[in-house]
Amino acid sequence: MTADHPADLTIVTLLPRLLDTNGDAANARVLAQRARWAGLSARIVAVQSAADLPEAVDLVVIGSGTDTDLVAARDALATLAEPLRAWLAGGVPVVAVGTGWELLSAGLDLPDGSSVDGLGLVAGRASALPVRVADDLAVDAGGLRLLGFENHVRGYTGGATALGTVSYGIGNGDGTEGVVDGSFTGTHLHGPVLARNPELADRLLRAACHARGLTLAPSAQTESVDGIAKAARNQVAVRLSLTSE
């Protein structure tokens, strides 16, 4: 593949009409733009049903929704369970936020004591917290500091590996935040998380590029935007009495 004919990364965003309450479907736009700044072409495919699925998929984004839409979103995702299972088995990077993540687990607890079955595609389940959490969230994740906003009534238990440890906020409710299960990343971080934390975006992009034999090369535009994101994170860090980057 020559520089005149850059590879085309296909980024799928699942159910953006139902799962975009906090703007998290925009994580797909972040991935696509960062790929383009690195000299690659990228397209975003919004998948509302199996009929919308492209032939090849390099990355998958799932946003968050409301509890009133949980069953509708679960049933819609269930029609896509087989491709989701195949993507995860094949190592395709999948990032899911909030209820989009929870619906792929074994199940979700509701405030009234009832529960909703999930698809069981990732380990663990979304367990009830004593009260709703709505505040800043800071996470140490394998040498990265991740910052965002959490707004949820459930923690998470039984995940394969946590995304990181909480330095401010609640996260999963046990001092950890998120889950990493093979090529899957689940998190409570809104923001959108990949716009506020571009190093996490590039971690996902590198995995997708590696599978295609491509290299993700930062550009002057990337470095400029990353500087803005870093300054914004440092402002939050100061407010939360955390060490600046």
Give the CATH number of the domain where residue 95 resides.
3.40.50.880
**What was the pLDDT predicted at 143?**
87
pLDDT tens digits, one per residue of 96-132: 999 999 999 999 999 899 999 999 999 999 999 999 9
Number of domains forming the structure of the chain: 1
Count other Cβ atoms within 10 Å, centred on residue 235.
12
Identify which of 129, 127, 149 has the alpha carbon closest to the alpha carbon of residue 139.
149
pLDDT of res. 160: 86
How confident is the model at residue 1, as a pLDDT? 40
- Residues annotated catalytic, as ranges: 190
Look at residue 2 and tell me if it is in a domain: no
Question: Which residues are paired to 137 by β-bridges?
Answer: 148
For residue 192, say if its preceding peptide bond is cis, omega within 30 degrees of 0: yes
Q: What contacts 106, CB < 8 A, 6 or more positions away?
A: 117, 118, 120, 123, 124, 125, 158
Is 239 annotated as a binding-site member?
A: no
Q: Give the pLDDT confidence score for residue 7 in this predicted structure.
A: 55
At residue 142, the pLDDT reads 87
Residue ranges making up the domain that contains 68? 8-239
| Structural domain includes residue 3 | no
Ranges in the chain, pLDDT < 70: 1-7
